Structure 1
Amino acid sequence: MFSVIAPPHRAPTANPSTGKPVTDSAPPLGSGAENRPPKSDAKQSRPDLATLTALRFVAALWVVFFHLQAMQHTFLAPVYELFRPFIANGDLGVDVFFVLSGFIITYTYLDRLGPRFRWRTAGDFVWARFARMWPAFALVVGVVGLWFVYGTAQESVREWSLQTQAPDLSPWGLAKQLLMMHLWFQPGTDGASWFGPGWTVSAEWLAYLAFPLLALLLFRLRRLHPLAALAVSVLVLLPTAIWGPDLPIATDEHQPYEWLLRIACCFISGAFACIAARNADRMKFNPALAGPGALLTGTAVVIFLATAGKPGPGRLAVLAFPLLIALLSLTRGWLRSALSARWLQYGGHSSYSLYLVHMFFIYLFYWLIRDWPHGAGPLAENLLAAACLLGIALATHLLFKYVEEPARLRLRALVPKAGAARVGTAVGHSSRGSARQ
């Protein structure tokens, strides 16, 4: 998540600021000339991506536990009993990713893409996002494809995929998966991806392709008053928050292309939440209040979901996400230090890999339990569940460390950045001038 789900990131420099990550194609927060607004802009706050990286990990775990409900009768039963209303709304973790994505992409790229449309700059942005998303996703698609080859010899495609609609396994279906366009051709998410949550990758990719044009509008609104920007970030979520089954504007079923409304509303909401955070100094906002405000907002979301008790009404909680994310980005002090813990940061950076691999192990658990000779007893179920959780953790680490990050760096190296090319040209001219002298 996608997001998805994965904001720009690169390995820390030799002397990074404590707790502050370094962004992909962006210098360290608060120090890079490319990330600074024009001199004519008012003083701006510097959102902290380390706190949001931790939130990515929390959101990923939320989605994973939502999908792990197949194991709720194992040793995980106490967790599901205690947090059942919260876990039952775990699909909202996807909305957290979408809002986060809009926030972080706007923070990192607005000042580069916003002033005017330039094909080279837009191409650099799209290539950077492709390099981040595609390698790990393509590998998982390949593994799941082999899984389908094995399983569909005995089961139907629909049954083997554990989806209500059968995914398209034709050569054109494979091409759509590998191009990350598999969701664009159908009104619903079920059956769009070869593995259930893979639809979000396609939705995110569409948002990234549209962002260079969206940035032209956002840049002209970059000085918007923070309260106005925050109000817009909430209002733009209304269509996806109040329209659907068991919601204020009730419908009997999900509407066609609801996924498109969902990614558009959440991504734009995150962009305006970023503008609000950037301009927080305009209202003399005290950063010391950001941490308590974020904790209060997060607690309110948890209480609301516990009260709502089911996914329908619980969807209204999405309206609090832009405020939560904006406040977390401005958090300082002990909460920022806590969220900058190494394990939370690693979990956040590897959350995309976690999101991609976890469903495969759920498939394994489901089919092994179903076909267990003479039925699986409690001991076998618990051992298998533990093995699947360990498998998820190990596969996440391996995919992130040996595929996602190395492949991103290699793909990025294939196409030099526009800025680097200009610098290289300038250096070349300077060297030739010195030689002539």
Structure 2
Amino acid sequence: MGVVRTGEIKALTGLRIVAAMWVVLFHFRPLIWDASPRLKDDLAPLFNAGAQGVDLFFILSGFVLTWNYLDRMGSHFSGRATMHFLWLRLSRVWPVYLVTMHIAALWIIFTLHVGTVPSPDVEKLTAISYVRQLFMVQLWYEPFFDGTSWDGPAWSISAEWLAYLLFGAIILVIFRMARVTRARTLLLLAFAAALPPTVLLLASGHFYTPWSWLPRIVAQFVAGALACAAVRRLRLGRRGQLVAGFASILLTAAIVVILYYYDANPVPGMVDPGGVVDLLFMPLVVTLAIGVGSLPALLSTRLLVYGGQISFSLYMVHEIVHTSWNWAVQEYHIDLPKSVQKFVVIGLIAAAVAGAMLLYHSVEEPARRWMRRMVDFRDVQHDVHTGPPAAEGSRLASIDHARDARPPQSSARAG
């Protein structure tokens, strides 16, 4: 079945902060455009598609979870292993989710008692909504994700939680497919699995349609899982790794080119052309996972890996910062010159990053260790001595040095 690899893939950890910042810039667009109209002319095609960063997260999630759990959970079903997996996933996302959920609720209450502009989300604060938010199922009852969560980005965590609950069954199928299927076929299947959201976009012209969140999470998550199964079967020499690294640069450039092309040449009836680039996310993740060279090396730097580690906290806290400022502008009729607005936007993004760092070090990591200790003390003891966490919270040794140390082979084989 090829070389079985385990451990953190640093380039994918670094890719997480890129996806998170893409979403952040998407939400901060109106403030950025007001501060600098020229940036709107230059960067609107890229920033307007920032919502696609969520789909990149979905693919990364399916890939990394399969990377870490295929051998542990794929050979046979185990209720104990599945519950252990779900608890570890809960320990990874629930603490920050709960904190930001309650911060968002307190903010909504604050606007009721201060000033004259209550939050438009006041009607969301109901008992049944609280229970749904608490158990991360608020999205499951709604065809559209807008307005489902007190903290806006939390809708995707509700979608991810559904994928986690299905993972025990998905991994059984992926494991058996991987045993009898060549790597190139698995890659084709992964590409096919990622198609539904784009097919729906091409059919309707809209990426955001009733219940569209469901094929987004299922398709992209499964595509990431299949792509991981393919990568685990690949045997690449140094030349193949260099080619993959160069291909990751070409794919990144292609994503940017496509976004600008559709901006300059709009398709009649297509409202969300940026969704087309979703088709390149799976190949991008694969090439970064197996490649070496400039882009994989850049994403593997200590700064970007740290950014990847705090990316979840950034994703969860940035919209609270954004919403708070918008409320202050409306409540106090703030009208600043553009020269000052630029510094305000930079300050708000810096505040979101600082909040993410605070959440990561004071909530995310301590709570994750505490919850893991409840089910596996030895894992936590091992964590303390093995350095920074993997992208999905499983602390495994980095594969990057081992991969680079392998003697080069004359050819790359699949299968």
TM over 0.5: yes
Secondary structure (helix, strand or coil) at the match of 2:272 reads: helix
- The alignment of Structure 1 onto Structure 2 pairs a total of residues equal to 372
406-415 or 363-372, which moves further after superposition? 363-372
Using the TM superposition, give the Cα deviation of residue 346 of structure 1 relative to its aligned residue in structure 2, in angstroms.
0.6
Match in the other structure for 1:296 = 250
**Aligned twin of 1:357:** 317
Matches within 5 A, 1:385-424: 385-416=345-376
**Corresponding position of 1:141:** 101
TM-score normalised by length of structure 2:
0.83
What is the RMSD of the two structures over their aligned residues, measured on CA atoms?
2.5
Residue of structure 1 aligned with 2:171, choices 201, 215, 240: 215
Please state how far the C-alpha of 1:147 moved relative to its aligned partner: 0.8
Task: Report the secondary structure of 1:91's partner residue.
Answer: helix
Q: Taking structure 1 as reference, are residues 60 and 167 closer, same or farther at Cα in structure 2, changes over 3 Å only?
A: farther
2:232 alignment partner in structure 1: 278
- How high is the TM-score relative to the length of structure 1? 0.79
Alignment of structure 1 residues 305-344 onto 2, 5 Å: 305-309=259-263, 312-344=272-304
SS of 1:195 mapped into structure 2: coil
Contact 2:198/2:207 (8 A) holds in 1: no
Q: Name the residue aligned to 2:129.
A: 173
Amino acid of the structure 1 residue aligned with 2:196:
P
User: 1:232 aligned to 175, 178, 189, which one?
Assistant: 189
Aligned to 1:58: 18
Which residue identity lines up with residue 207 of structure 1 in the other structure? A
Moved more, 102-111 or 364-373: 364-373
Deviation per CA, 1:323-371, whole angstroms, max 9, x where unpaired?
A: 1101100012444332221110110011000000100111122122223
Q: 2:144 aligns with which of 166, 184, 188?
A: 188
Q: Distance in 2 between matches of 1:315 and 1:107?
A: 26
- Superposed CA deviations along residues 19-49 of structure 1, whole A, max 9, x for unmatched, are xxxxxxxxxxxxxxxxxxxxxx333566861
Gaps of 5+ in 1: 1-40, 421-437
Distance 1:204 1:374 in 2: 38
* Percent of aligned pairs sharing the same letter: 32
Distance 1:265 1:374, change over 3 A: closer
How far apart, in 2, do the equivalents of 1:283 and 1:261 lie? 36
Distance 1:262 1:345, change over 3 A: same
Classify the secondary structure of the residue corresponding to 2:50: coil
Provide the rounded CA distance (Å) in 1 between the counterparts of 2:339 and 2:237.
59
Per-residue CA shift, 1:116-175, capped at 9, x if unaligned?
A: 111111111000000000001100111111111122457787x634xxxx7631112111
Structure 1 215/252 Cα, relative in aligned 2: closer, same or farther at 3 Å?
closer
Q: State the shift of 1:374 in Å.
A: 7.0
User: How far apart in 2 are the matches of 1:284 and 1:222?
Assistant: 24
2:63 to 103, 110, 121: 103
Mean CA deviation greater in 166-175 or 86-95 = 166-175
Q: Which string of whole-angstrom CA distances, capped at 9 and with x for unpartnered residues, describes residues 264-315 of structure 1?
A: 0000000111111111228998222110011111111110111112762221
Instruction: Tell me, yes or no, if the aligned pair for 1:110 and 1:215 is still in contact at 8 Å.
Output: yes
1:347 aligns with 307
Structure 1 counterpart of 2:394: none
Q: Greater RCO between the two (CA within 8 Å, min separation 6)?
A: 2
Task: Pick closer, same or farther for the CA change 1:75–1:242 going to 2, 3 Å.
Answer: same
